A and B are shown apart, each in its own frame.
Chain A
Amino acid sequence: MPRPIILGVVGDSAAGKTTITRGLVRILGEDGVTHVCTDDYHRYDRRQRAERDITPLHPDCNYIDIIAQHIGHLSRGEPILKPVYRHSDGTFGPPEYVQPARFTVIEGLLGYHAPEMRAAYDVRVFLNPPEEVRRRWKVQRDCSRRGYTTDQVLSELDRREPDSEAFIRPQRRHADMLVSFMPQATAAEGDPSHLDAELVLRDELPYPDLTPFVGDGPDSLILEERAGERVLHIPGRMDPERGAAIEEAVWSRMQFATHLRSGRLGEFTTGTDLHRSESLAVVQLLILHHLVNAKAAVALGGSGVRSDNGAQKAAAAAAKADAT
């Protein structure tokens, strides 16, 4: 089997990693995606972290070397025995045997921390919501699903801030795609379905041409070219037809993947309510576009879609040598 395609979804706690990933899994199918969360690689359980006064954001609180090693195994198509951290009670369970499926999503806090980790990804996404949005999301999630009070979450956020600044946010510079969902300046408070998406798209990966949708109307994309990257602004209040037309343009660059089109993109939950967001759908589709193109390239003997993929070229050459 050709090597799996590896997607990184990195960002601070509650930045939206699971929301992004869930949509991709829905489209690619549970069987087609292996999902690894680097929280499982914490070095200390919740009690030990409290004793040592260390946050899970600190590299010393994680087996960084083992994460890198396991990403390497998965990217070569090899199984791993993955540790298990249980968020429900903050302890570790027995490890699990994980075999990489066609696509592997590595989701976590420190996924781009070390160079040997970064080399293994086909696509590197970093989620970068404004801090006030992320704080709101974290309060919502941790109070509803992890059993904390609002005050506990807020004080934990303050305690983590120095490590966020020192270790999490600097990873932005290693991403191919920076994603920030943010409320429009004019939007009413608490309208989660119509967040704008602002993307920084770096030139290491090729993008479909979206210039036909650029303009200055309320439904239009805004595209700003910069050295080595461009900034794409997707309005949250976009008309669903407009959204569909943009999605069509992206699908046209994946003509070999029409069988995936039945899946639903753009869905997210607040509490137990299911919503849909046009801008989220476009973001997920752009990520999907990279994944399926990388898969197609590798299936045809290529090394992937990155223009800076020295490590992947070497891996592809080694795989070829093994096969012969």
Chain B
Amino acid sequence: MTRPIILGVVGDSGAGKTTITRGLVGILGEDQVTAVATDDYHRYDREQRAERGITPLHPNCNYVDIISQHLRLLREGEPILKPVYQHADGTFGPPVYVSPKPFTIVEGLLGYHTEGMRGCYDVRVYLAPPEELRRKWKIQRDSSRRGYTEDQVLAELDKREPDSAQFIRPQERHADMVVSFREGDGGESKALDAELLLRDSLPQPDLSALVGGGKRGITIDEGDSERHVNVAGAIGPKQAAELEEAIWDKLHFASHLRSERLGEFTIGDDVHRSESLAVVQLLILYHVVTAKAAVALGGEGPRAEVATVE
């Protein structure tokens, strides 16, 4: 087997990592994706963290060296014995044996913290929602699925803020793709805009022909070695379909993966769909699938190509 393709989905707690990942797993197939959460590599359990007054966002609270070692092994196609952190009660369980499938998604807080880790990814995504939106998401999730009260979550967010500023947000600069969902100016629509920063560390697909529709469509702002792309939450279904079609056209060798499932997300137990989320997931899929094709043909992957040209 050729080596697995490694996607990183990094961002602060409640930033939407699992929502992004779930859509990709849905489209690539569970049997094709190994999902690894770096929360499993916490050094201290919940009780120990409380005693020491350390947050899980601090590198010293995580086995950063072991994360890096395991990423390298997975990239080489080697199995790992992965630790298990149980969010339900904040303790560790016995480790589990994980063999990498063709795609590995590494989701977590500190995935780009060291150079050794960063070198392992084929695609690096960072999720950077505005803080007020992230706080809302975190409250929704932690009070519905992790058994906290709203006040507890808010206090925890404040306690974590210094570590977020010092260790989590600075990782943004190492991403190939920075994703910010935000409340847009789409009038009556409550759908979120997706604001994307696409860097030239990976060859990005040319979307310029699809610009149009202004605040209810697609805008692109070209920079020196990066571009800002805004996909309005209120984008019309026709324009969204054209955009997705254009990306799928570049993935013509992977047309068997096409499905309607992109863009789904949950609030509590309700499933919703967002056009802008679908576009973001599709762009990530574009990079992951392109890397897979390049490696299958004996190449090193698109990142190495860019590095060589530079």
Contact = CB atoms under 8 A, between A and B. Distances in A.
Interface in B77-101: 78-81, 83-84, 91-95, 97
Contacts of A41: 81
A55 B1 CA distance: 32
B66 A69 contact: no
Given A65-B79, A69-B73, A81-B66, 19 more contacts: A41-B81, A43-B97, A63-B81, A66-B80, A66-B81, A69-B78, A69-B79, A73-B69, A78-B65, A79-B69, A80-B66, A80-B69, A81-B63, A81-B83, A81-B95, A93-B94, A95-B94, A95-B95, A97-B66
A84 B94 CA distance: 8
A80 B82 CA distance: 11
A274 to B, nearest CB: 35
Interface in A83-109: 83-84, 91-95, 97
B43 interface: yes
Contacts of B97: 43, 63, 66
B63 to A, nearest CB: 6
Contacts of B83: 81, 94-95
Nearest to B68: A78
A97 B79 contact: no
Contacts of A97: 43, 63, 66
Interface string A45-66: 0000000000000000001011
A165 to B, nearest CB: 28
Contacts of A84: 94
What interface size band does chain B fall in?
10 to 19
Nearest to B99: A65
* 6 closest cross-chain pairs (CB), A and B: A94-B92, A92-B94, A81-B66, A66-B81, A95-B95, A95-B83
Interface of B: 41, 43, 63, 65-66, 69, 73, 78-81, 83-84, 91-95, 97
B81 A81 contact: yes
**Residue among B78, B83, B92 with max Cβ neighbours from chain A (10 Å):** B83
Contacts of B66: 79-81, 97
A264 to B, nearest CB: 36
B43 A83 contact: no
Given A66-B81, A83-B81, A94 B69 contact: no
Nearest to A84: B94
Nearest to B67: A81
Which of A65, A92, A94 has the most C-beta atoms of chain B within 10 angstroms of its own C-beta? Answer: A94
A218 B91 CA distance: 60
Contacts of A83: 81, 94-95
18 contacts: A63-B81, A66-B81, A69-B78, A78-B65, A78-B69, A79-B65, A79-B69, A81-B41, A81-B63, A81-B83, A83-B81, A83-B95, A92-B94, A93-B94, A94-B83, A94-B92, A95-B81, A95-B92
A263 B261 CA distance: 68
A61 to B, nearest CB: 13
Nearest to A81: B66
A91 B94 CA distance: 9
A65 B79 CA distance: 8
A81 B80 CA distance: 10
Contacts of B65: 78-79
Nearest to B81: A66
Nearest to A65: B79
Contacts of A93: 94
A84 B95 CA distance: 9
Contacts of A43: 97
Nearest to A82: B81
Contacts of B69: 73, 78-80
Nearest to B91: A94
Interface string A168-197: 000000000000000000000000000000
Contacts of B63: 81, 97
A94 B93 contact: yes
Interface in A118-141: none
Contacts of B92: 94-95
A78 B70 CA distance: 12
A94 B48 CA distance: 14
A42 to B, nearest CB: 10
Contacts of A63: 81, 97
Contacts of B79: 65-66, 69
A92 B95 CA distance: 8
A92 B92 CA distance: 11
A97 B67 CA distance: 12
A250 B69 CA distance: 40
A95 B82 CA distance: 9
